[in-house]
């Protein structure tokens, strides 16, 4: 009776699995790789160090990438109104304590708040940006109003401040309206292309 010789299975080979590429089943010195029972590579023999790929230096972020990393919240119409109103009230209080209620400083600080409000409001609520900005301007003027005789005198001072600072009020509203309009036009163009 003739007996056929059977070959012992190769290291790392499994039944029914496709054959591995030639170097996949080899260790660092060309010999068979050591594996544990779970099939994961085991500890390498002493004196053999694995080579790590050299670190590739990547260039630093460009200006456009660093601008994209800035916070980019999306506020609802109500959230944009609350943000703008709260910031302007705080800026009015700071102006009162640091600059002695300077309406020019308040007007200059109003412009960046208008820009941020118009940029951060989400697409569906873009039309609310030019509406909430003047309301926030009026609320922020309240701490700056110099009314000594009570609420009536403070309201008169508030309306006087609104009348004398109408340039800043209209300028900030115009900026918010322009940004909201540009964003709305871009949104409509994208929808038409799609």
Rg (CA), the chain: 35
CB-neighbour burial class of residue 154 (10 A; exposed 0-12, middle 13-18, buried 19+): middle
Q: What is the DSSP letter of 24?
A: T
* 34 — pLDDT class (breaks 50, 70, 90): low
Q: What is the DSSP letter of 39?
A: S
Proportion of the chain above pLDDT 90, given as a percent: 40
Nearest alpha carbon to residue 83 among 111, 109, 117, 108: 117
Question: Diameter of the chain by CA atoms?
Answer: 123
Query: pLDDT: is 87 or 36 the higher one?
Result: 87
Nearest alpha carbon to residue 132 among 151, 154, 110: 110
User: Average pLDDT for residues 68-93, to the nearest whole number?
Assistant: 87
User: Average pLDDT for residues 157-179, to the nearest whole number?
Assistant: 93
| Segments making up each domain of the chain, as ranges | 92-193
Residue 82's pLDDT is 94
83's tokens = 């943000």
- Write the pLDDT tens digit of every residue in 132-162: 999 999 999 988 887 677 888 888 888 988 9
């Amino acid at each position: 009776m003739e007996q056929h010789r059977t070959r012992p299975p190769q290291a790392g080979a499994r039944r029914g699995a496709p054959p591995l590429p030639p170097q996949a089943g080899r260790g660092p010195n060309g010999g068979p790789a050591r594996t544990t029972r779970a099939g994961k590579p085991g500890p390498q023999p002493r004196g053999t160090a694995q080579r790590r790929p050299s670190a590739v230096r990547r260039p630093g972020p460009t200006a456009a990438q660093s601008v994209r990393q800035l916070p980019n919240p999306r506020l609802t119409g109500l959230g944009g109104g609350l943000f703008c109103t709260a910031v302007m009230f705080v800026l009015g209080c700071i102006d009162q304590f640091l600059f002695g209620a300077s309406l020019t400083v308040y007007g200059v600080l109003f412009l960046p708040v208008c820009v941020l409000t118009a940029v951060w409001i989400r697409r569906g609520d873009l039309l609310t940006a030019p509406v909430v900005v003047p309301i926030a301007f009026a609320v922020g003027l309240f701490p700056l109003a110099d009314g000594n005789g009570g609420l009536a005198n403070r309201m008169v001072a508030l309306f006087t401040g609104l009348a004398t600072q109408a340039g800043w009020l209209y300028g900030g509203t115009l900026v918010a309206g322009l940004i909201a309009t540009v964003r709305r036009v871009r949104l409509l163009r994208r929808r038409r292309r799609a």
